[in-house]
Amino acid sequence: MAPPWEPAHAMAAPITTAATVPAMAVARLSAMSTPSGSCAVLRKVSDGRWMEISTYEASCRSGMEWRMAVRIVTDSASSISDADIERLSITTIPLLVFVDGRAIPEEQLRAPDFFMKLADMPALPRTSQPSPEEFAEAFRRIVDGGDEVLAVLISAGMSGTVQSASLAAAMVRSERPDAHIEVVDSRSNSLEEGFAVLAAAEAAASGKPLAECARAATEMTRRTRFFFTPRSLEYLRRGGRISAAAGLLGVALRIAPILTAEKGATGVAGAARNSHMAWKRIGALMRRDVEKFGLRQAAVQFFGNGGDAERFVAEVVAPIVERVVPVVPLHPVVGLHVGPAVGVVYETERPMR
């Protein structure tokens, strides 16, 4: 027998799950309070059956319109923590690293172990974006559950991931004309991308519609900066990011470049004669931004030596931030192109761009 709080009309047909119902026309909700004070929420689908949506600890009223939830999709380069992925129900699609002829999802490579092996490899491993079908599978799963999709991804100027996701979105829309899917280019990578992803996910968690969630991500890109410096130019030279001649000259002169993400591509923000001077220069650039635009959050990222990251926090970032600074490893897809490196990602109070 049905619980006394279940709406009588819901018992006229069996309850189904989202997995058994195709993309459906949005109907209306019916809800009644349970003894615990929560609300059993049912959705009438296109064939007349009622589908259980969820249980909400809130006051509900019969006949209110159902608003589809926005689900966030990103790629593994975003450096988002497992805790945030779980807390905000973010779907992460892994980028690929080719090692010994095998395509390995980035999430299966532990950054410290991968870094130790990297120095002994005769050539840098290749990397690749996820296929359109991988994105399409994730998009279909979300759409068939009755929700909307917002994909916030690594810069199109650094990877073909945005292109793969855009192709997948077009594919799913052609199969399911009622699908709502948007793709946002974060114009960066690593935690600068991650900050945009989290902004979108927090907006979605608060019930914002798709357009506002996308706007939260794009507005975040105007308030963030990522400065980092590799210990040498060797990995940039091996990866073809700079010419062999420039790489050899830089190694000989011990030049330490200061790199950043600007307009969707990796650019040079400056250079110094050694790593210590590069750190000081990054600190000066960050302090200039903080004094002009304020500061909301900051994190340090590194690839290779965690000790360098701890010193970088103590010497460069902590005096500016004056709070606990998270330290997050760079993921292999980004790290293998720059080699041992350390840098800072921060968000300001007001837009810098």
CA–CA distance, 259 with 235 (Å, rounded to integer): 14
C-beta of residue 156 within 8 angstroms of C-beta of residue 77:
no
- β-strand partners of 71: 149
Residue 77 has pLDDT above 50, yes or no: yes
Q: Which two tokens stand for residue 281?
A: 């220069």
- The region of weakest confidence among 37-41, 141-145, 295-299, 322-326 is 37-41
pTM, two decimal places: 0.79
pLDDT in the model for residue 21: 37
H/E run at residue 309:
helix 306-312
Whole-number percent of the chain with pLDDT over 90: 58
pLDDT tens track for 14-69: 333 333 333 333 333 434 444 444 444 444 343 444 444 443 333 333 444 445 79
* Predicted confidence band of residue 94 (pLDDT cuts 50, 70, 90): very high
| Numbers of helices and strands, H then E, in the chain | 12, 16
Residue 11 has pLDDT above 60, yes or no: no
Structural domains for the chain: 8-56 (no CATH), 70-95+130-221 (3.40.50.10440), 224-347 (3.30.1180.10)
Residue 193 has pLDDT above 90, yes or no: yes
Give the 3-state secondary structure of residue 57: coil
pLDDT in the model for residue 20: 37
Reported residue count of the chain is 353
Mean pLDDT of 315-342: 92
Q: Quick one: 3 exposed, middle or buried, by C-beta within 10 A (0-12, 13-18, 19+)?
A: exposed
CA–CA distance, 148 with 260 (Å, rounded to integer): 33
C-beta of residue 18 within 8 angstroms of C-beta of residue 145:
yes
Residue 246 has pLDDT above 70, yes or no: no
Give the 3-state secondary structure of residue 220: helix
Residue 141 has pLDDT above 70, yes or no: yes
Residue 229 has pLDDT above 50, yes or no: yes
pLDDT in the model for residue 64: 42
pLDDT in the model for residue 232: 77
Mean pLDDT of 324-352: 93
C-beta of residue 348 within 8 angstroms of C-beta of residue 293:
yes
Higher pLDDT, 107 or 52: 107
- The region of weakest confidence among 117-121, 214-218, 298-302, 343-347 is 117-121
C-beta of residue 212 within 8 angstroms of C-beta of residue 179:
no
